[in-house]
Amino acid sequence: MPLFLSTQDRDFEPRFQALLGLKREEAEDVDQAVAAIIADVRARGDAAVIELTAKYDRTTLTAETMAFSPNEIAQECAKVSPQDRTALELAAERIRAYHSRQMPQDAQWTDAVGAELGWRWTPVSAAGLYVPGGLASYPSSVLMNAIPAKVAGVQHLVVACPTPGGVVNPLVLLAAQIAGVDTVYRIGGAQAFAALAFGTKTIAAVDKITGPGNAYVAAAKRRVFGRVGIDMIAGPSEILVIADADNNPDWIALDLLSQAEHDESAQSILITTDAAFGRSVAAAVQARLQTLQRRAIAGASWAQNGAVITVRNLDEAAALSNRIAPEHLELCVANPDALAQKTIHAGAIFLGAWTPEAIGDYVGGPNHVLPTARSARFSSGLSVMDFLKRTTLAKMTPAALAAIGPAAERLAQSESLEAHGLSVRARLDALNGGAA
């Protein structure tokens, strides 16, 4: 059974703190194993990647077969039904349209002293996208990672997607094709991150790596960060639903289960102003678990990490939500827009009972790669901005340097950085001497 809490309980605060502190990540320490894999790939390149792929994915590769050929991709894409293709194309169209609006503008202006200042945005040159492999791989994640990169203008875009036991998901390859990916490698795990970060004879190094994965992926991201950029260190999925009694309990139950079925470590929380409604939702969850295909996973998630919290009012609900800082937040209340103004920490907000979180996973338009484990307090979901860099611009005229240069010289002297100050003073002396 999930945890039942009420803000009117005398022991609410310590129990809520315990809920916030649940360690849902995998306990296994994989960092040393990942470090060894990365070191091996750095030292032996393709040979290490091929050996590790045979060991962990039971797939025999050569340097020539590490990437899918155009013919292989065409053959696999031909297996996709017209209905699935149409759904993927609709999702891609909506994701592309949404992310195109995120593109920032360059700027340049002349300030009061005559200095020209500004900034410009440029994409990273190459990005690698990680997609977990096999039949459980998600084509939607390919679209969500690749399309923002292409909108940003990334010139070289590759995917690393393992094929354990030789199993290929045609939808993943079709998603990569629709999104404009250049190359799809059939490699995974920490060895894929090492190859993308440091490069091998066959695999060119990239500038940024994004994409979901397990504890090994998280450890690999930490290890290669600095050599390349990463999107985030993501943990198990999570959803918080704030709902009043004017909702269908079964709808809310399904929304909670939509995240619980991801992983036993996932978390689903309901906050409601009506205790009886909370019990009805819990009963609906139990009923759905009798027939859900992934009921073993969803059931374990709900029993170990789920919670139903009763609050006095929606202001209290918003305050608790901000402390939870959920990855996904559904606001199934009479006035969701007003409540959304009060919920300031969330990866994505879904407004109203007709907006299930699952729409956001596929065809809504906003990105589904979102901050987890309360990191929505300080970070955002994946966007075009993750594939762009801002470069500042400055141009001094002689008059502008004369106006602000002495202050720069003074500050350099205060920091005992003599050459800094002298580089300004040399120009000021030339101005004072009449030189331009």
Residue 357's contacts (CB-CB under 8 Å, 6 or more residues apart) are: 239, 255, 258, 259, 328, 330, 348, 350
Coil, helix or strand at residue 288: helix
Give the Cα separation of 432 and 380 in Å (integer): 50
Residue 51's contacts (CB-CB under 8 Å, 6 or more residues apart) are: none
- What torsion, rounded to 10 degrees, do the Cα atoms 101, 104, 109, 113 define? 130
Is 345 labeled as catalytic in the residue annotation?
Answer: no
Residue from 76, 99, 261, 328 carrying the catalytic annotation: 328
195, 228 Cβ separation under 8 angstroms: no
Distances in whole angstroms, Cα of residue 51 to Cα of each of 37, 63, 66, 234: 11, 11, 12, 28
- Amino acid at the residue 129: L
Beta strand spans in 247-387 (E): 267-272, 307-310, 328-332, 348-351
Residue 371's contacts (CB-CB under 8 Å, 6 or more residues apart) are: 232, 234, 325, 327, 347, 379, 380, 381
Pairing of strands 156-160, 126-130: parallel
Phi, psi of 299 (to 5 degrees): -65, -40
Identify the residue whose tokens are 């762009």. Answer: 388
Query: What six digits make up the tokens of 14?
Result: 């310590």
Query: What six digits make up the tokens of 57?
Result: 């994915």
Pairing of strands 238-243, 107-110: unpaired
Give the Cα separation of 144 and 368 in Å (integer): 7
Evaluated on CA atoms 178, 179, 180, 182, the torsion sign reads negative
Identify the residue whose tokens are 């331009």. Answer: 436
Give the Cα separation of 236 and 214 in Å (integer): 9
Residue from 261, 264, 327, 330 carrying the catalytic annotation: 327
Is 327 labeled as catalytic in the residue annotation?
Answer: yes
Which positions are catalytic? 327-328
